Amino acid sequence: MKHLLSTKDLSRDDAITLLDIAEDMADVSTREVRKLPTLRGKTVVNLFFEDSTRTRISFEAAAKRLSADVINFSAKGSSVSKGESLKDTAQTLAAIGADGVVIRHPASGAPQVLATSGWIDAGIINAGDGTHEHPTQALLDAFTIRRRLHKAASRGKGLDGVTVTIVGDVLHSRVARSNLWLLTTLGAEVTMVAPPTLFPMDMTGWPAAVSFDLDDAIDAGPDVIMMLRIQQERMNAAFFPNSREYSRRWGLDDERFARLAPTSIVMHPGPMNRGLEISSAAADSAASTVLEQVANGVSIRMAALYLLMSGDREES
């Protein structure tokens, strides 16, 4: 694997390999010395053109646990036009010898541009591009589901027959898109629930059932319910009347949470709008995997960096 740009083009075998390597990385994280020498002498640049807390520190922790040198480049606020600034930045990173670049960018497709432009010869990992994809988030979500379902015996397995309901701001969510492709590749059945205004106009080719009614979706008894953040920063118009109305119809409130099967798990990629898309009781419950998702994110990112950067890049 040379780059990790999306989950849409990830094969089932590659996805399972990534999840299995992440299991090994998770084992490393339980040791007294939580460090491997694998990427000693290599440089990873975290190139973030958009705000981020958990994804950036997660990649930083992952790279450091593999003994890579890490440079954090926060490019937010640059006034140079996007295309030019990306090219200049990429050439700068090439000049300092970056072996891997983790990029988050508000423009969908920016990581793809970096990977194919020839400006830099480094492994590129998409850490979220506009509303397009966020592959490591989907991988850590799949990893979290697989671990909860299969406990210790999860290696080698997919998510065949698992039912996952994704709820909320699908329109603006790269997390929803990456999860849709990855989860269905792994054999899960995905239902998406949102107000009509928060679905994309064209969902042709999306392998998901669509519903506008969260109560119906909850009564169907999904194995997993994944709440999405309302992405106010990407909204330039009113997509729902007000927060109270949103939360009343599409929020995982205490009453809906109580109706979930005792074995269902509740997921959220963070950052959460408590009281809007998810209640505090649901977010902090034993069913919630929110913090597990963060911890698993480090293992997944270690696996991705390892696959892309260890060994001789010329071979791939």
Contact with ligand NCD (CB under 6 A): which of 66, 269, 283, 307? Answer: 269
Q: For residue 270, say whether it is annotated as part of any ligand binding site.
A: yes
- For residue 192, what are the β-bridge partners? 166, 210
Q: Specify whether the CB–CB gap between 194 and 222 falls below 8 A.
A: no
Site for ligand NCD in 34-63 (CB under 6 A): 54-55
Q: For residue 229, say whether it is annotated as part of any ligand binding site.
A: yes
Contact with ligand NCD (CB under 6 A): which of 106, 130, 200, 270? Answer: 270
Interface with ligand NCD includes 177 (CB under 6 A)?
Answer: no
Q: Which one, 231 or 247, has the nearer CB to ligand NCD? A: 231
Interface with ligand NCD includes 3 (CB under 6 A)?
Answer: no
Question: Which residue's structure tokens are 């929020």?
Answer: 251
Interface with ligand NCD includes 137 (CB under 6 A)?
Answer: yes
> Least distance (Å) from ligand NCD to the CB of residue 312?
31
Q: Which one, 102 or 120, has the nearer CB to ligand NCD? A: 102
Q: For residue 174, say whether it is annotated as part of any ligand binding site.
A: yes
Query: Minimal CB distance to ligand NCD: which residue?
Result: 229
Burial (CB count within 10 angstroms: exposed 0-12, middle 13-18, buried 19+), residue 190: buried
Number of Cβ within a 10 Å radius of residue 23 = 17
Residue 171: name the closest of 117, 128, 127, 132 by CA: 132
Q: Specify whether the CB–CB gap between 235 and 190 falls below 8 A.
A: no
Peptide bond before residue 222 is cis, with ω within 30 degrees of 0: no
Contact with ligand NCD (CB under 6 A): which of 19, 167, 175, 224? Answer: 175
Q: How big is the site for ligand NCD, counted in residues (CB under 6 A)? A: 11
DSSP 202-256: --TT--EEEES-HHHHHHT--SEEEE----GGG-SS-SSS-HHHHHHHHSB-HHH
User: Which residues are at the interface with ligand NCD (CB under 6 A)?
Assistant: 54-55, 128, 134, 137, 174-175, 229, 231, 269-270
List, as residue ranges, the binding site for carbamoyl phosphate: 54-55, 104, 134, 137, 270-271
